[in-house]
Structure formats: C-alpha cells, structure tokens
Structure 1
Amino acid sequence: MIERRALAGVAAALAAAPLAARPAVAQEEVRNYPDRPVRIIVPYAPGGANDILARLYGQKLSERLGQPFVVENRPGAQAILGTEAVARSRPDGTTLLLGASGPIVFNPATYAQLPYDSLRDLAPISLLASFPLVLVVAAASPHRSITDLIAWAKENPARANYGASGAGFQLPTELFNQRAGTRFQYVAYRGSADSVNAAANAEVTIALVDSGPASIAMSAGRVRALAVTSKERVPAYPDVPTMAELGFPEVEATLWSGVFAPASTPRSILDRLQSECAAITALPDIRDRLKALAMDPVGNDQNSFRGTIEREIGIWSAVARAAHIRLER
C-alpha cells in the first residue's frame, strides 16, 4: 500500500511538472527575446507608407529591445511574395511581417488560390495604423458632388471609369458601384500616385485612393475630394463629407497596416511584441509622424486585430463575388 501511494505521488508530481515548468519557460523566452537580429519583411518597394512604418517601428524596437530590427523589402505579386516568405519562416520571432490589409484581407477575397492563409499561417500582433480612402476627381471636373457624379455616370456608362492600383482600391470602388447603381469601369494603375495623377489629368473619371497621395494632390490643387470612406470626417479636410452622410453608409472602408509573425510563434514572444508595439504607438513623436502621413494610430491587441481580419475577409469576399472578381496567379 505504501509503495502504491509512493508511486502515485511520483506520478502526480511528474504529471504536474510540465505544467509548473511552462510559466518559467515562457518567462525565459521573454527574458531572452530577442537574442539575435530580427527581420521585418515589407512586401512592398522602399519609400511607401508601409516601408516608412516598418522603419519607424523597427528603430524604436531596436532601441527598446537591444537588437537590430532590420527592414527587408520583398515587393511583387500584390504583396504575395513577401507575405508568403514570412508565413513559411521559422516561428521564433526573428522574422516579422509589416502587413497591410491588401495581402491580408483583400487578396483572400479576390484570389482563387494563395500560397498562404491569412488566419492559419500568420499570427497577428498589433494593428499599428489605419487610414481612410478619398474619392477624388480632377480639379477642373464638372462634378461638384456625389449626386452630380452619380447622375452623370448613369447617363454615360460607357464613359464612366475609375483608376485603382490593386484590390484594396478596386473592391471599395466596386462596393460604391453596387450601392450607387453605377457602372464605373476599372482601369488598372501601378500605384496610388498613378491613380491620382490619372484622375487629375482626366484620364479616368474618379479615383478612390488612400489619404496620403490624395492629400498631396489636393494641396497642389490638382484634384477635388467629393467624399471619404471613414466613419467620421477627416480632420485634414473637414469640408469633405463621409459616404454615410451622402446616403451610402455601407461604403465604409479603412485600410490598415500591422505587424505579424509566423503562426506557432510562442505566445510569450507575441505578447512581448504586442506590448512593445502598443507602447511605441503611444509615443508622441510616433503619433505626430503617423498624423503627418494621414494615418490614425491604433496599436490594438492580438484578439482585436484578428477579429478585424476575420470580419473584413467576409465583407470583401462578398463584394468580390457580387462584382464577379476572381483572380488567378
């Protein structure tokens, strides 16, 4: 009987040992992380908003965590190449993704097949910043309001078109088409700046673009803004109404950029990175820099970020189906 009790006690101790050890292991991971340089892969060319964000946060993370956070640009294929590289990387916190809503939610909505699954293969850490889209027309355009624009587009469907540089701009414009009953035709451009220039030169009727390039063209007097897709008016141009104010509450679109790690990265490392990203987002100099880029600082937690991704994949997949948009690689 004594031997049985002793054996039972040993078995219980052995069973409990892994459970007791886990917090210590997790603490050790956090204490040692990072113990080598960390790569931040940006799936876009240098100089864009995501590249700037990666370098801003990379510098702060280096200062706070004592290891270099090195930005590596891997552009190509609608950001698929760089995103796939991170999804297939070793899940040890040494390879991160500065991911935008384009490859994370719009690509799954439009591509028949992708080499990664946004929710299965990537661990969201923190959504850093968001920004609305702005519907612009040429400064010399006769369209002074959304009402004028829609009426003209319905009378001239063969002439109505829009410029867009990817699914992140194409799908919101198609959502506007669906709600307004218009048939603006898609004209592809390489980037947002090209789309804005096309609208400014009247090569296309409208462009629905991110606030950064729109602000530059507006300041130069080359385009006029008719609406924004945010819930509230944008402080930088308070006279521009929201789509909701104009009678299209469903046409709400906010693009964003955030930090991701490969799936299966230890939770303790994810938590440490989330905490650091949130703290950096709260810094006055970072907030001022983001505002200068026409971005709204966010810095949320992992669960909130994942919820945003799940919700938006559903929304934009429905828009893509209604617009009969399905892409092949």
Structure 2
Amino acid sequence: MDREHAGRDARAVEDPIAAIFDLADSVDHQTPKIRRMLRYVRVFVSLWLLLDFFLIIALAAIGGGNPVAAFLLFIPVIGLLLGMRRVSGQTPRLVLLILVIVFANLMIVSVGGMFLIFGIVLVALFVLGFIILELMRDLRSFFDYFALRHRVIQRVRQADPVVYVPEGKDAVQRILSHLAATNPDVRGLMAIPGAVAIPALLTGKTGLTYSFDAYVRQPASFLWKTVSLGTPGFAVFVKAFDKAPTAEDLKALKAAIEDASLAARIPPARILVLWRAKGNESVSADAYEFLTKEAVRVRLRGSTFACSLELAIERDDGTYDFIPLVLEPAVAPSGRPVPS
C-alpha cells in the first residue's frame, strides 16, 4: 500500500469528485508495482508447471506406471486448457473443463503404482496452475485497461478544447492531415507506400465487400501471427456521410468494420465518421447514445479488441467536434473487462 495513504482514514471524504481523481492517480502510481508482482507470479507458476510435468513423468517411470501414456495425455490436457482461453461463453468452457478432468484422471491412472497419491496431487496442481495463469492474464488485462483509460482521461483534461480543421481538398484529406499532425504512429505509417488506401474496398470474412473513404493499416508482426506475442498491428477506418449519420447507419458501419477486420486479421484502432454540419446541426439522440456506448469488437487470436466509432463533425467556424474524443493511436487487447 502507498505509505502516503496508509495512515489516512479511507472513510473520510470532503470533495467526492476530487477524491475520485486522487484515487485514480493513486492506483495508477501503484500499477507498475502490481505489474511486476503479476510478472513474478506468472514466472513462478510457469516454472512450477514445467517442474510438475517432469515430476509426473518421473513418478510414472519409477512407480511402475506408464510414462509414455502420461506424456501423451499432457497433449490433450494442455490443448483443452489453452482452448478454454480462446472460447467465450460459460457452456463451452464448462464442456472443455469436463474434458480436462477426464484426461487428468486418465493421467493419474497412468502414474499408478506406489505413487498414485502423489500423482493425484501433482496432476491437480498442474491443472490449477494453468487456471491461475489464466486468472493472472485477466488481472493483467484489467490493469492494462485501467492504465490506458487513466492516461486517456488525463490527456483529455489537458488537451486544447478547440480543434481546428486543417487545410485539405475534402473532408477525408483534412481528417487524415489532422491524424498525421496529432499522431506520430499514424504519421509514420502514412509515409509507407501502400499503407494508405483512398478510397478502399475491403472484403469481409462473410464474403461481402464494403466501401470506405480511407483505410490505413499496419500489419501484425510475425510473432503475433505465430505465438500471439508482439504487435497485433492496427487499422484506421474513415467513412464520410453527406448528412447526419443515423443510429442505423452507425450499426451498419460497425458490422462492416467487424467483418472486414476479421478478414484482414488486423484490429481497428481509430474509426472516424465524417460529417460536415450546417449551423448548430447535431446527430439524433439514438445516434449519440450509440456513439458513446457502443464499440466495434473484434476477437483475434484469443484477444478481444475494441474501438469506438468517433464522429468528427466539421463546423462552419472551422473547428472539429468529436463524439466521443479518442486520443490513443492503438488499441490494446481488452481481455476482461472489454474496452474491446
């Protein structure tokens, strides 16, 4: 615990709003320490799983069991445990857990002999270790989400509330210029030949083809494609509307981006919906609610990615209104909870 807060009474609150921000800052300061702790736990559990594996094989060989069968049974047990990470829903996970228990019991039988009791303990600890790793993964995802959310909120509070529309021949060129000026990742990516398509026709996983006014992409790294490590890449979608987009328009756009992202195997990082308003025009209440509460969700290689649809309204005074305002260039895996 932070020593600064150790001697304080947690029940004493004077200004609730200021206290919320102070609490968030305090937790954010502890995040690096918590991440280190989680990393140490994961390393310890991983080493234990490796040791447990060799102990089970050794006990099966020494105690008169079947070490070959014990070794082969590790394949379905580990495969099913890894499968539990990737599936969503309680029923599929329960089915996989039951299969894990069945194969784990067969592994215990393969140990057999005089070390049967030790086999029961070691196999149970092996399964428990994998479950602990999954819980550590969820906890790490939560703190990654919290740290990202806290950083974004701080940047929004510190950002200039007035955003001017840059020069450009049309709304698409202007928003791309704005992205390049405010985001070094996108600026560097746009300098790579072939990374930007204006306009873009993308085919989704369902086979349908979707039209976008601009598409900027950074492919995933080799490590991500093979072992889900490294950079998953990111994509920027731009879609312009001649009139205020409705909730139905936004729902259709959300479905199109999810389908196209699944086909490309690249998560969306920014989704910009462009509209040039006249006077004080605004979107409907349903569209506003959709923009502020819904997000594109794409599940790739066991990780869930989320990205809000961001309406960029060009006003007559040469400024942008963003609903909502998205500042971070790339999206991190959401895990649970989902920013996904």
* TM over 0.5, shorter chain: no
User: Which structure is higher in helix share?
Assistant: 2
Higher relative CO (Cα under 8 Å, sequence separation at least 6) belongs to: 1
Q: TM-score, normalised by structure 2?
A: 0.29
| TM-score (normalizing by structure 1) | 0.30
Give the greater-gyration-radius structure (CA). Answer: 2
